[in-house]
Chains A and B, each alone.
Chain A
């Protein structure tokens, strides 16, 4: 069996975590390519429905960071 590769949908705050994800790129860090980022204006924008919808679409995990 091949290794399980969890697919993550990330909702990142524009002002902090999204910037941090950019910085990870600038610093040429590496992480698994199974993450899809949705930029939101603030973690306060996060709606439980977004997390549920992402899970329903097949995501293995939802990451909200802000």
Chain B
């Protein structure tokens, strides 16, 4: 340690350090232009000049490269220093009068005009570029020439192959003299440019060492070996020098790891279609024609423009944006992706709505589409809202020409409306809604694995086994199975896990490693010994907050016996160190001041457990997300805030008590309500995995609506497959079937349900009680019975399922039909039922094709609003058009009119293209009726689950929890969730099995320790807690109970720890463990010393 005086204060530094480094540590600001912490100092700019007194005399030295020595006295801001610096700045200004950095610096010293002759240079000859170039190992540039001729240049001023165009010189240049353009023009022979960020789809650059994106898992930086200078020259190594934990090893090689597995699940995903090949869209040539992925990034707060909506060419805020649907989808002419990508309509609407949220209502958003496909749950409502409330324009037209407008960055679009009118409209920006496709390397992988693909290069799977590939043991999920959105991909992934679980059932638990349990230290009645660990999080926290000062401050707080600061508290090695410290210092309470408890609390609680402490003797305080990251311009106040937060946490943690997590056994049986395809699939999967499963079916037979279906979109006949499924169910000893049975009562909670089943129609009150750990609601749906279109008045008018019935019966009248008409959206997509029934378009088209097979000359008309043959169902639509099925569009306000008179069945509507009324005399009218749920309010109440406005059950999370309820241990699948075709019901059934097994596979589950508890001695039995609790956790003890009869008690298993009852309890009889009144008050009372409070 070297001790010396800095501006009169005694300071310390390490031997060999320079004045500037020590000054930085003590927060003393010394201006410099030529210093970079990764490079050897050179003392080039002279701006860091300070005054040095060596005991005898005073002289000037440059702080950046003058080593410290014992006893010296440095002053950084004396008048002499100030005057000296002012002269230097004045000379720099005369050399580079146009450089903003120098201008600002000069302004700070009160110089407006230099006294010396002005030059036109922008380089201050600081040499940062040449030093960094040397460090990069390239040595392409140096300071050439002498005296006034000196400049930064390559040998002989020629572009050289020594320059590897890494751009390091441009990145360190303080004045902006060296830019990537300059490198391209004067230095390099190869092109220099930003390394395009994959995450920002090239809209932004990234570094050679980078974390792909903020939420990446694992969140560890990687080195891009293709661009990293070290791997080209052996130089640089700056990252290794600055990595505090020595994590960088340049010698690491790719490894081949061999795994012994029983099953493989493929989830390789998709790639967005690349529109570069389409010259008509001008994507390559025009900066303001972007893809939807680029739009996603532009709209994102973490995107290249931080969520500010600007267009790429000139960063102007666009006022008119057009979206083009079906780019790279439903196109056989250009890209050969003839399938529908399923997700683009919805994401385009979402982007348009977010655009309006970001940039205000005056932004004109126009979506050009062919058919609007919003067939997902609640999607139609979103479409309606975007159209009617948000003012998004929907134009049914394919734009045929995009022209650049000379002299402007705008785009001129030409398109034709329904009535043939040609429109030319100018837009600021065009977004191409690109489709999904399987990347070539995945096609290659499929070949290697020898699995079959479909015509669209998706994995081929059977309707009744949608996650099963053509090769046994290999399963698939996500967009490789077919283009799909997030909820569908989540359902798939659970189902694939169940499929793998079914075949690996004998191996279950065979590779499980038991965790060593550390005995818990009893800390009750001990005086608190609090340890405070303050995290630097690299520079994330320490770059703003003065971490050592916070740790030092924590020492002064009551009961704190140990404090320290960590570089990365969450790293494996720090965890081990912390465990050792807790044991050694006999800490019984721990505070970690770091990032957010939402992500890291469990990790640190684990550390406590490993040190033998109860995990609830812990408090985290958030000095990163809610401090250093949001107050970076006020470091002093951020440090004060960190101290306050630490003080508050310390006061709270002192009052924390060890809490117990109640364990309870999980009953291994499952109860499934509904014996349709979805419910049967759950039973099949659970039965195969060895769990006792009960199916409760209201009707007298299994099969549900699938019984009435002829065939699926893949052309598989439903009946034999359904028989096969029912057969397997019936034969499996693990599965008990209760026909003609209803659920009349449910008691209990996750892991311990008790349900009463009652057989109807048997005459006697045949009641059975079943105990089960999980419950599945698969109550299905049914076709809407139309009251429109003269349904029921004429035998020629029938629903889709009735037509299926006729086809299955082989009704000979069908093939003699002259004309058949299908009307779509009967009861769907209208104000009283504002959802799309998802299955009807495909169903009608498939039925039309069946009729065409019987009689190719039959005239078939499908009257529709939007054809929604999503995914590879689109092939059927194309086939139907090829075979002469005629599609006529109608709108909600001009529905077809059906007339039955004198034995004639006539359908009238206006053809929007011809703009003329059309009258069709039909021999058959098939109504594609809505799918409606079997609404069951009583069931919803019994399981405390909710039902939406349309009568479908509401899942835990629309995207991430599509097959489970918010109530633990209760799951949903099939039509009870939303209308869906057979394959999607099957896959959701299997997904439910997977979700249920995650619970059933445990013998015991634990409640949280942070639950409410009543004090019966104070309870006034007012019943408020019972009535406010959304989870039904509190109840009153029976009047005849031995102790405290009629008072409230709380079931810790049901309690979610929200504290609503605590706040509502007028007697103050309820305590919320971990967030009790005294603990929260302790935090509030510690506020008094907070900044100015």
CB within 8 Å of A: which B1020-1077 residues: 1028, 1057-1060, 1062-1063, 1072, 1074-1075, 1077
Partner of A38 from the list B641, B1063, B1083 (CB cut-off 8 Å) is B1083
Which A residues are in CB contact (< 8 Å) with B1075? 40-41, 45
Q: Which of B625, B1062, B1081, B1092 has the most CB of A within 10 A?
A: B625
CB within 8 Å of B: which A24-48 residues: 24-31, 33-34, 36-42, 44-47
Partner of A18 from the list B302, B598, B1062, B1093 (CB cut-off 8 Å) is B598
CA distance A39 to B1010 in the complex (A): 14
Partner of A36 from the list B598, B624, B1028, B1090 (CB cut-off 8 Å) is B1090
Contact, CB under 8 Å: A57 / B1085: yes
Q: A24-B630, A41-B1072 are in contact. Are A53 and B1092 (CB under 8 A)?
A: no
Q: A29-B630, A30-B632 are in contact. Are A14 and B1063 (CB under 8 A)?
A: no
Q: Measured between C-beta atoms, what is the minimum distance from B961 to chain A in Å?
A: 14
Q: Measured between C-beta atoms, what is the minimum distance from B606 to chain A in Å?
A: 19
Which B residues are in CB contact (< 8 Å) with A41? 1010, 1057-1059, 1072, 1074-1075
Contact, CB under 8 Å: B1084 / A57: yes
Contact, CB under 8 Å: B214 / A53: no
Q: Across the two chains, which residue of chain B brings its CB closest to A59?
A: B1093
State the main secondary structure of chain A at its contact with B: mixed
Partner of B302 from the list A26, A30, A36, A47 (CB cut-off 8 Å) is A26
Which B residues are in CB contact (< 8 Å) with A18? 598
Q: Across the two chains, which residue of chain B brings its CB closest to A24?
A: B630
Q: Which of B302, B630, B644, B1074 has the most CB of A within 10 A?
A: B630
Q: A19-B598, A26-B302, A36-B644 are in contact. Are A45 and B1063 (CB under 8 A)?
A: yes
CA distance A19 to B624 in the complex (A): 13
Q: A5-B1092, A36-B1090 are in contact. Are A45 and B1060 (CB under 8 A)?
A: yes
Which B residues are in CB contact (< 8 Å) with A42? 1057-1060
Contact, CB under 8 Å: B1093 / A57: yes
Q: Across the two chains, which residue of chain A brings its CB closest to B1030?
A: A44
Which A residues are in CB contact (< 8 Å) with B1080? 38, 40, 47, 50
Contact, CB under 8 Å: A38 / B1084: yes
CA distance A9 to B648 in the complex (A): 12
Contact, CB under 8 Å: B1087 / A46: no
Q: Measured between C-beta atoms, what is the minimum distance from A24 to chain B in Å?
A: 6
Q: Across the two chains, which residue of chain A brings its CB closest to B307?
A: A27
Q: Across the two chains, which residue of chain B brings its CB closest to A53?
A: B1084
Which B residues are in CB contact (< 8 Å) with A26? 214, 302, 625, 629
CB within 8 Å of B: which A1-15 residues: 5, 7, 9, 14
Contact, CB under 8 Å: A36 / B641: yes
CA distance A40 to B1087 in the complex (A): 16
Contact, CB under 8 Å: B630 / A30: yes
Contact, CB under 8 Å: B301 / A27: yes
CA distance A30 to B640 in the complex (A): 16
Contact, CB under 8 Å: A47 / B1058: no
Q: A36-B1087, A53-B1085 are in contact. Are A45 and B1062 (CB under 8 A)?
A: yes
B637 at the A interface (CB under 8 A): yes
Which B residues are in CB contact (< 8 Å) with A14? 598
CA distance A34 to B301 in the complex (A): 24
Q: Across the two chains, which residue of chain B brings its CB closest to A54?
A: B1084
Which B residues are in CB contact (< 8 Å) with A57? 1084-1085, 1087-1088, 1093
Partner of B1092 from the list A7, A19, A40 (CB cut-off 8 Å) is A7
Contact, CB under 8 Å: B1083 / A45: no
Contact, CB under 8 Å: B1059 / A30: no
Contact, CB under 8 Å: B625 / A21: yes
Contact with A along B621-659 (1 / 0, CB 8 A): 010111101111110011011001100100000000000
Q: Across the two chains, which residue of chain B brings its CB closest to A29?
A: B630
Which B residues are in CB contact (< 8 Å) with A25? 596, 624-627, 629-630
B1091 at the A interface (CB under 8 A): yes
Which B residues are in CB contact (< 8 Å) with A39? 597
Contact, CB under 8 Å: B1072 / A45: yes
CA distance A54 to B1082 in the complex (A): 11
CA distance A7 to B1090 in the complex (A): 9
Contact, CB under 8 Å: A33 / B645: no
Which A residues are in CB contact (< 8 Å) with B1074? 41
Which A residues are in CB contact (< 8 Å) with B1028? 44
Contact, CB under 8 Å: A33 / B641: yes
Contact, CB under 8 Å: B301 / A36: no
CA distance A54 to B1017 in the complex (A): 30
Contact, CB under 8 Å: B626 / A30: no
Q: Across the two chains, which residue of chain B brings its CB closest to A40?
A: B1075
Q: Across the two chains, which residue of chain B brings its CB closest to A37?
A: B626
Q: Measured between C-beta atoms, what is the minimum distance from A22 to chain B in Å?
A: 4
Q: Which of B626, B1060, B1088 has the most CB of A within 10 A?
A: B626
Q: Measured between C-beta atoms, what is the minimum distance from B1080 to chain A in Å?
A: 6
Q: A7-B1090, A26-B214, A30-B631 are in contact. Are A40 and B622 (CB under 8 A)?
A: no
CA distance A47 to B1063 in the complex (A): 5
Q: A36-B648, A42-B1059 are in contact. Are A58 and B625 (CB under 8 A)?
A: no
Which B residues are in CB contact (< 8 Å) with A40? 1059, 1075, 1080
CA distance A18 to B302 in the complex (A): 19
Which A residues are in CB contact (< 8 Å) with B638? 33
Q: A14-B598, A21-B625 are in contact. Are A7 and B630 (CB under 8 A)?
A: no
CA distance A18 to B1057 in the complex (A): 16
Contact, CB under 8 Å: B1093 / A58: yes
Which A residues are in CB contact (< 8 Å) with B1087? 9, 36, 54, 57-59
Q: List 16 A-B contacts (CB under 8 A).
A: A7-B1090, A7-B1093, A24-B625, A26-B629, A30-B630, A33-B634, A33-B641, A36-B641, A38-B1080, A44-B1060, A50-B1080, A53-B1085, A57-B1085, A57-B1088, A58-B1090, A59-B1087
Other 17 A-B pairs with CB < 8 A, given A34-B1091, A41-B1074? A18-B598, A22-B596, A24-B625, A25-B629, A26-B302, A27-B301, A27-B306, A28-B630, A33-B631, A37-B645, A38-B1080, A39-B597, A45-B1059, A45-B1062, A45-B1063, A47-B1063, A57-B1085
Ranked nearest first, the 4 interchain pairs of A and B with the lowest CB-CB distance are A45-B1059, A25-B625, A44-B1060, A42-B1058
